[in-house]
Amino acid sequence: MMSQDIPCHMTSFCGKDLNGQAVTLPQGAPGSPCLLFFAFWRSQQAQVDAWLEACSPQIQAQADLSYYEVPVIRRGTALFRWWVQLGMKSGVRDFERRRHSVTHHTDPEAFRRLYGMPTAGQVYVLLVTREGRILWRAEGQPTNEAIRELAAALETPPR
């Protein structure tokens, strides 16, 4: 459940997956809703992986559910963005996994403020419709309670 001070809508943003394809999320996701895993530091990859594992049953069971890891990284120069993308790509060998990782180059602090993410020290997980309506959110490590809430959100049709 989301408190009133947490945004209920996400505007679309653009990024590139690790295969180099431009992606617009959540609007351009092939399925709806879309499960987005936002991370702000390389050291958070283990936490993202824990979420992916914990959410795997829902991802497998929901034919229309899209999911993406979204590293949020400062914009920097074109050379910086290329270097970051190349480094991340070299760490992910699987084509499908690369397709589900979309780097978003922006001002991380402004992005966090916009979406009610108080610290860059946590991973944030949002379930969002293609139209941008935030249906569910969690932060930090996955918990049994969070996974139950996600399952309930997936069973409840968006209003």
Note the CATH number of domain 13-141.
Answer: 3.40.30.10
Q: Where are the domains of the chain?
A: 13-141
Please return the burial class of 34, using the count of CB atoms within 10 Å of its CB with bins 0-12, 13-18 and 19+.
buried
- Could you tell me the pTM of the whole model? 0.85
Tokens 């290329």 map to which residue?
A: 82
| Rounded-to-integer distance, Cα 54 and Cα 149, Å | 12
Instruction: Provide the residue-wise pLDDT of the chain in tens; the chain has 159 residues.
Output: 444 456 788 989 999 898 889 999 999 898 889 999 999 998 999 999 999 999 999 999 988 899 999 999 877 666 555 556 666 666 667 767 778 889 898 999 999 999 999 999 999 999 999 999 999 999 999 999 999 999 999 988 766
